[in-house]
Chains A and B, each alone.
Chain A
Amino acid sequence: MKLTGAKIFVESLKKQGIEVMFGYPGGVVLPIFDALYDSDIKFILTRHEQGAAHAADGYARATGKVGVCLATSGPGATNLLTGLATANMDSVPVVAFTGQVKTTLIGNDAFQEVDVIGLTRPISKHNYLVKDVKNLATVIKNAFHIASTGRPGVVVVDLPVDIQIQETDFHYPEKADIRGYKPTCKGHIGQIKKAVKLIAGSKKPVLYIGGGVIISGASEKLREFVEKTEIPVTMTLMGLGAFPGTHELSLGMLGMHGTAYANHAIQDSDLVIAVGARFDDRVTGKIDEFAPHAKIIHIDIDPCAISKNVKVDIPIVGDANCIMADMLKYVKRPEIAKWHKQIASWKKKFPLTYKKDSKLRPQYVVEEIYNLTKGKAIVTTEVGQNQMWAAQFYRCDVPRQFISSGGLGTMGYGLPAAIGAQIGCPKKTVFDIAGDGSIQMNIQELTTAVSNKLPVKVAILNNGCLGMVRQWQELFYKKRYSHTCLECSPDFVKLAEAYGAVGIRITKKQDVKKAIKHALKIEGPVLMDFKVEPEENVFPMVPAGQPINKMIGVLA
């Protein structure tokens, strides 16, 4: 039987097991929207295409499935870009479909034409322009395969409107077969044995865990590995939850706003075992002085990540889950009792804390959200101080619990990502920890939450400024607060109400618990406006270009 391109699109998604997609309509995607009208695929209409891309991303991070979004050509496609770049930087599997003008008009500066392939090349893992309806099913199959395997990422499929209308026979391929794409899975056993030997002889080893562990589902194996070896674990922002933050061997996050004990442990260690992490500059600080006494084992699926930033002694390319499984077979416990003592003394001397007085401090808000959700909520964040406080004080214990834009640092990510996460995990409590700046970047998505009856909770840590930038101005630009004070912000409570959500304002420390409890009881979306201390800073902090043990603001 012959089907139109639009029908093939819908049937292919069904074969692919897609239950939900996020998007926004427009002229050149009308045939697809018409086909969606009769389909069971749940379509979430966001209020901005950027919201659709972030929601697809949040859905993917929370569930481990591929997120799907759809937008029209021209401005629809360009509005997606920030969301796609965000997802791709953090290796999130997203397939984005964009409408395109008729094949015969491509290159003519037609109405709402942009070069989607050109625009998305540097921010995607791969992209396709479908020029023949006969290839459509195969392209979709390949797109999902590429997005979800190896180091996952974004795949863009650009669909000219005439392709959506033309008919052809529909066969959905069983398997994707792409000759130029064969991601490695198993690690080299010789390398693994070398690594195990190094571990057994180490005196001060540290595991440095990134998002790759979560993506590959290696958390269980990692835990077994740690229980067997008793090697302490530090995580990147993307790795939070890969290993329980409340475990006694957890050192929390490392890097620019990491814990003092994680950073000291790295700098003092004789062996760093990096798994699914990429030695980002926010983690390493001054690169030539990163872990100066340590040998480095680097496990990563992406050969490009190896020896890109630091020289690695034992690289192991492959899937973290496979490799950890193989390592477990051979690994022996090193003699590190002295090292544990040293770490315990750092933990005691430099705890992660803040000033506990009667003022309403943002860290306290995060701590109470943690307590009242029993540490079990899915936490999304915006970007800035709110993001760092969420990372520091919401101690995630399970993978896919902490959802944040790490690589790109996209303000406006948290709310739409929370919507995506809530759709993927309807039974969970989802909290977006936000700043008063960031939340205004995609505030329109409150409507999406209201209209889909999604009980997402937004906690605005309202400091009246673009806090993280202000912090840098305070510390490095003589308190010259150039354009970082948000003197004029909307009344967030009224705004929430105008959107049909519930708004709560909290101005005193003693009202925090009550407000959060109340919010958790409400079945719909709630926007909480916490008027926190305006000049609170995120500490510890490693100033840019310093080694990570040169921290400022460590409270002893």
Chain B
Amino acid sequence: MRKTISVLVENHFGVLTHVAGLFSARGFNIDSLAVGETEDPTISRMTIVAEGDEKTLEQVKKQLNRLIDIIKVIDLTGEDFVDRELVLVKVKIGNKNRSEILQISDTFQAKIDDVKKEMVVIEVTGDQNKIKSFIEIMKPFGITEIVRTGRIAMGRK
């Protein structure tokens, strides 16, 4: 199953390797990882999305808690939370499909960042589903590059 875990950590070097090492030592792939400072500059928040069976993920959560530099581990899976990701998509563009691409982008409230003769960079923000369907729709036009920030999430409570 897929888990979204939000982790508050000390904002200093080395913490990221500790966390990443924990996942890799157990053969886990991190689907996405986003790190940034919180309202308290001495604390960073990591949002980790990982895939694995329930038992192993439970173990990883406990192991995370055990790390000295980790202040709090919040499992958002199953909770009420907002999640967002920002994605930059580079799509091939020509005279025939230009308006179609721009129109789709508009429906997704995506921003056109840079239009060249044969390329367009589109910036889209949203939750998992929105990002997924946007990419699906753009695929037939020819995506040449995708850059994603990784998912960030916040509990609604």
User: Hey, which bits of chain A sit against chain B, CB under 8 A?
Assistant: 117-118, 121-122, 125-127, 129, 146, 178-181, 302-304, 307-308
Contacts and interface: CB of A to CB of B under 8 A. Distances in A.
Going nearest first, the 10 A-B pairs with the smallest beta carbon separation are A180-B71, A304-B62, A126-B68, A181-B68, A303-B62, A180-B70, A179-B71, A121-B21, A180-B68, A304-B63
B17 A118 contact: yes
A129 B10 CA distance: 15
A302 B68 contact: no
Interface in B12-68: 14, 17-18, 21, 25, 58-59, 62-63, 65-68
Nearest to B65: A303
Interface string B55-90: 000110011011111111000000000000000000
Contacts of B17: 117-118, 121
A146 B69 CA distance: 12
Given A118-B17, A180-B10, A125 B63 contact: no
Interface of A is mostly: mixed
B28 to A, nearest CB: 14
A550 to B, nearest CB: 27
A118 B21 CA distance: 10
Among A118, A127, A179, A181, residue most surrounded by chain B Cβ atoms (within 10 Å): A179
Given A180-B72, A304-B62, 12 more contacts: A117-B14, A118-B17, A126-B68, A129-B14, A178-B68, A179-B71, A180-B70, A302-B66, A303-B62, A303-B65, A307-B58, A308-B59
Nearest to A121: B21
Nearest to A146: B68
A266 B72 CA distance: 38
A122 B25 contact: yes
Given A179-B71, A180-B10, A180-B71, A304 B66 contact: yes
A117 B63 CA distance: 19
Nearest to B43: A179
Contacts of B71: 179-180
12 contacts: A117-B14, A117-B17, A118-B17, A121-B21, A178-B68, A179-B71, A180-B10, A180-B67, A180-B68, A180-B69, A180-B71, A308-B59
B68 A125 contact: yes
Contacts of B14: 117, 127, 129
Contacts of B9: 180
A55 B10 CA distance: 33
B61 to A, nearest CB: 10
Contacts of A122: 21, 25
Contacts of B68: 125-126, 146, 178, 180-181
A122 B25 CA distance: 8
Nearest to A180: B71
B150 to A, nearest CB: 22
A6 to B, nearest CB: 23
Nearest to A308: B59
A122 B69 CA distance: 15
Contacts of A181: 68
Contacts of A117: 14, 17
Contact of B18 (A121, A129, A307): A121
A180 B70 CA distance: 5
Contacts of B65: 303
B141 to A, nearest CB: 43
Contacts of A146: 68
A99 to B, nearest CB: 18
B24 to A, nearest CB: 10
Contacts of A179: 10, 71
A542 to B, nearest CB: 25
A516 B124 CA distance: 80
B69 A304 contact: no
Nearest to A115: B17
Contacts of A125: 68
B15 to A, nearest CB: 10
A307 B66 CA distance: 16
B67 A304 contact: no
Given A121-B21, A122-B21, A180-B10, A304 B59 contact: yes
Contacts of B67: 126, 180
A94 to B, nearest CB: 16
**Among B10, B25, B62, residue most surrounded by chain A Cβ atoms (within 10 Å):** B62
Nearest to B60: A304
A302 B63 CA distance: 10
Contacts of B69: 126, 180
A302 B66 CA distance: 8
